[in-house]
Amino acid sequence: MNSSLTYFKEKASLIILFIGFLSMAAFGQKHEEDPQGDLLATMPDDLMNVGTGNPISYEPYYLAKFTKDMDRYPAATPPKGSFNRHGELEFLGKNVFGIHWFVEIDGSTWHFVTAGYPHKAPILFIHGFPESWWGFKEQMVDLAKDYYVISVDQLAYGQSDKSLKQDLTHQGVAKSLVKLMDKMGVDKFDLVSHDRGSCIADNMMAVPGANERVTNWVRMQQSFEEPHGQPRPSHENLADAGLYKDGTMITATYNSAWVSMQFTPDHMDRIYKEFGTEGIAEAVAKTYDTSFDIELEYRKENLIKHMSMPILFLQATKDPAQREEEYARSPEFVKDGYVQFVEANHFSATEAAEEVSLAIRDFIEGKRPPKLIVD
């Protein structure tokens, strides 16, 4: 009896293994039929980590696959400490795959992830502090069916270049990012920025011709014409590289008043991983060479006048340092401005993912929120 039971167990295991191989074969065939290699219709649950491997270790995964469209962008050598590869696929969710890319601009290597088809209208996402391209993962998943979504790691962050010899000022990174769009063959694009990514986006407006290329802009969680609210950390403190070592900043930030929910362990593991790449502490510290007040004056004197596209100031209601009243009049300072609030804290793209995705979609599709009446 026991020997018969063992026999059937062994046969059942072989059948399951065979089905698994058939699933992988079908998965590979699906890619062969997909000219872009970005979106898949179906994927077995046990293959959901293809492209990234175990979400805890991020060790190279033996089933990792690469897009057939490897020549879409010219490959650069990934910066030291990178854990993805040029052209590598990563499952993002809801049958959407992203593709990792490494592209060199004037000696600096940008890492970014795309999803969707390149012939569709592009949306450029610029993350804030202390995040990476991953901060907009949910929006990429929600929008990739209808748009070509591009989420970058800012220079100094994630898997992008961390050389201390490159220009890491807001102006320098903005110029480099515009050149990246040029190299990708992207002309007109919609723009979404969050936190310190909005500082980069602000400075993109002053890059000659860049403002005319931005069709719509959703600007999130960064002061505009009013001083940054309190509490706010000083740039002098944030310029201390010691704050960013051993996950100290991530632990402090995601256990602070700027977070109103508990993120999943997998999500937090990825945040630690992205903000723990080699050289990130010194590079991010170097980006804080100014102050909130200097940034405010520079924005008012040099940048706002270039903001000619429709802009949505998409702010979170629970952010302790960015209150609703500080943004009520922001639309008055630009040619075509609107303000909208979502019920979330600072990291609203994760806390209120569906609401933020819908707000982005509505705005870039021409659905404007009602104008606020301010006394």
Average per-residue pLDDT for the chain: 86
**Residue 128 included in any domain:** yes
**Residue 38 included in any domain:** no
Q: Which two tokens stand for residue 344?
A: 């979330």
pLDDT, tens digit, 9 for 90 and up, residues 237-253: 899 999 998 899 999 99
Beta partners for residue 115, in sequence order = 149
Residue 73: what pLDDT? 98
pLDDT, tens digit, 9 for 90 and up, residues 74-129: 999 999 999 999 999 999 998 999 999 999 999 999 999 999 999 999 999 999 99
Q: How many domains does the chain have?
A: 2
Contacts of 21 (CB under 8 A, 6+ apart): none
Q: Which residue has the tokens 């979106």?
A: 39
Q: Are residues 360 and 256 in the same domain?
A: yes
Q: Are residues 76 and 24 in the same domain?
A: no
pLDDT, tens digit, 9 for 90 and up, residues 294-342: 999 999 999 999 999 999 999 999 999 999 999 999 999 999 999 999 9
> Which residue range(s) make up the domain with 1?
1-33
Instruction: State the pLDDT confidence band at 48, using cuts at 50, 70 and 90.
Output: very low
Residue 129 phi/psi, 5-degree rounding, is -105, 140
Q: Are residues 11 and 73 in the same domain?
A: no
Q: Which residue has the tokens 């590079």?
A: 283
Q: Are residues 7 and 84 in the same domain?
A: no
Q: How far apart are the first and last CA of the chain?
A: 85
Q: Does residue 43 carry a pLDDT above 60? A: no
Q: Are residues 27 and 124 in the same domain?
A: no
**Residue 372 included in any domain:** no
Residue 229: what pLDDT? 84
Q: Are residues 96 and 219 in the same domain?
A: yes
Q: Are residues 346 and 308 in the same domain?
A: yes
Q: Are residues 315 and 183 in the same domain?
A: yes
CA distance 239 to 235: 6
**Residue 374 included in any domain:** no
Contacts of 263 (CB under 8 A, 6+ apart): 254, 271, 350
Q: Are residues 9 and 83 in the same domain?
A: no
CA distance 366 to 244: 40
Q: Which residue has the tokens 């179906």?
A: 42
pLDDT, tens digit, 9 for 90 and up, residues 212-240: 999 999 999 999 999 988 888 888 889 99
Q: Does residue 35 carry a pLDDT above 90? A: no
Q: Does residue 208 carry a pLDDT above 90? A: yes
Q: Are residues 128 and 28 in the same domain?
A: no
**Residue 114 included in any domain:** yes
**Residue 164 included in any domain:** yes
Distances (CA, A) of 375 to 229, 328, 329, 331, 340: 21, 10, 10, 14, 17
Q: Are residues 102 and 246 in the same domain?
A: yes
Residue 30: what pLDDT? 39
pLDDT, tens digit, 9 for 90 and up, residues 134-189: 999 999 999 999 999 999 999 999 999 999 999 999 999 999 999 999 999 999 99
Residue 351: what pLDDT? 97
CATH number at residue 67: 3.40.50.1820
Q: Are residues 164 and 219 in the same domain?
A: yes
Residue 58: what pLDDT? 41
pTM across the whole model: 0.85
**Residue 189 included in any domain:** yes
Residue 99: what pLDDT? 97
**Residue 375 included in any domain:** no
CA distance 12 to 39: 32
Q: Does residue 41 carry a pLDDT above 90? A: no
